[in-house]
Amino acid sequence: MRNVTTPPRLFAIVSLLMIIMMVVVTGLTQALFFRQSIIDRESVIVSDMANALAHEHLISASDMANYSNAAAMEHLGEGFGPISQLSGTQRIKVFNRDYTIVWSDNPGMLGTKHTTHIGDLTRAMHGEIRAVFNSEEADTSTGKHDSSTPESIEIYTPIFEATQARPGAAVIGVLSLSRSPLALNQTIRDGLYLLWTVIGLTGLVLFSALYKLFTLVYSRQKLAESRFTKLSADHDHIVQLEKLSAMGEIVSEIAHQINNPLVGVINLAQVAERDPEISEKTRRLLVAIEKSGIECSDFVQRLLRLNQAARSEPQSVEVNDLVQDTIAFFHQTIGKHHTLAFAESDKRLMIVVDPVLIRHALFNFIHNAILAAPDKPVVISLAAEELEGVPGYLLSVTDGGSGFSDDAAKKLFKPFFTTRPGGTGLGLSVAQFIAMKHGGIVRAENLPVGGARFSIWLPSAPKP
């Protein structure tokens, strides 16, 4: 299952949700605004048309008052009848000052005073243009709604006296026009779709820009954290290198001071052993002294190796030759009955290192691998590998043993730590010290198929 809680993905999810919410809320809000704007515009158009027809046919207050007269009825019909030809018209009603319907496209409404919007009718009588959206058309003969009839937009527009010039003209009546909202709704839907599209595209462009900026900032933050971690690790390595160097110098000086009298003790014990006049008990004590002295001398020699690793003389060497020389030296020192497999590269790979120290580190790896599994072959491999953008070479030694435990893995490179009886505990720590002096690292890993692999990575160019 993919992790959706990473900062870039979390930012993307939250941003997209906010954009969707913004599009929906803006669309719904603007839909109401568009509806009212279109209704207001159509109300003005209807008002201008109604008054233009009234003025053209000289509709007067007397026609409104005497609507039952045949001549007035005909006059009103000629004046307002053309409005019924407008598309979507559902009902036309004309009210006089008494709020009585004096003309309608439904003759059955004449003489009635029923209306569902008395407040809007009253305001129209005072010269305002009013528009109302009916969710279901009302039956003005009863004042009740009929849910079987379609929705409607009802416009109340004042009719001004034809003989007077506006503004200030007297209102002689109100025309009520009910129209179907289908065309209006379609216009609103088209506008809403267009609005959603524009806002959505704008939101996506904004999201893309912000996401790119966020990922750029986040990647730089991660890069800064990575560099800080690397600097911390490098600092730890430098501190460890300085500690090992200082310890090597101190221990070397102490070892030199101890070694000379210790050799004297061993020699004197050996001479005393050969004296025929000493008792057997004394001879056993001298043998014990000699054995202890030899053990102390071996330990002193191990301490001296720390100081040997602190001195280096870098030079340009060929890596394949370096490995072959180490294998040959190992065979001469340990024995040729151990199988060491090395696939030599067909290219000459040059590197600037101290060959003595690198051979020493590689020798320790090979020796440990033989001790881990004496009856199994040891595989030595060489590969070009970049580490954090720095080109270099990885020398690996793989054994066929049982590997190392998790607890041992934490202490592998600590001086004098060993899991092997009689081991010095300095091979890996010295190898790590040598790698660090060359700007490299040492790796240790257990293999899934069994065995362990110890590697030393070295930069192809000397560290600055």
Structural domains of the chain, ranges and CATH numbers in brackets: 7-180 (3.30.450.20), 314-459 (3.30.565.10)
**pLDDT of the chain along its 464 residues, tens only?**
455 567 888 888 888 888 788 777 877 777 777 777 878 888 898 899 999 998 888 888 888 888 888 888 888 888 888 988 888 888 899 999 999 999 998 888 888 887 788 999 999 999 899 988 776 544 444 444 443 346 788 899 999 986 554 555 689 999 999 888 787 777 777 877 887 788 778 878 888 888 888 888 888 888 877 777 766 665 565 556 556 666 666 666 676 677 777 777 777 777 777 778 788 888 788 787 877 777 677 667 656 655 555 566 788 889 899 898 888 888 877 766 778 888 887 788 888 888 888 888 888 888 888 888 888 889 999 988 888 888 989 999 998 888 888 787 777 777 666 767 656 666 777 788 888 888 888 888 888 888 899 999 999 876 55
CA 210 to chain CA mean position, Å: 12
What is the residue type of 8?
P
Rounded-to-integer distance, Cα 191 and Cα 378, Å: 77
Rounded-to-integer distance, Cα 91 and Cα 94, Å: 10
For residue 296, what are its two tokens?
């102390």
Residues 6+ apart with CB under 8 A from 272: 278, 286
* Pairing between β-strand 378-387 and β-strand 340-342 as defined by DSSP bridges: parallel
For residue 89, what are its two tokens?
């018209």
Angle, CA 225 vertex, CA 223 and CA 229 arms, to 5°: 115
Residues 6+ apart with CB under 8 A from 171: 97, 124, 125, 126, 127, 158, 159, 160, 161
DSSP 8-state assignment for residue 81: G
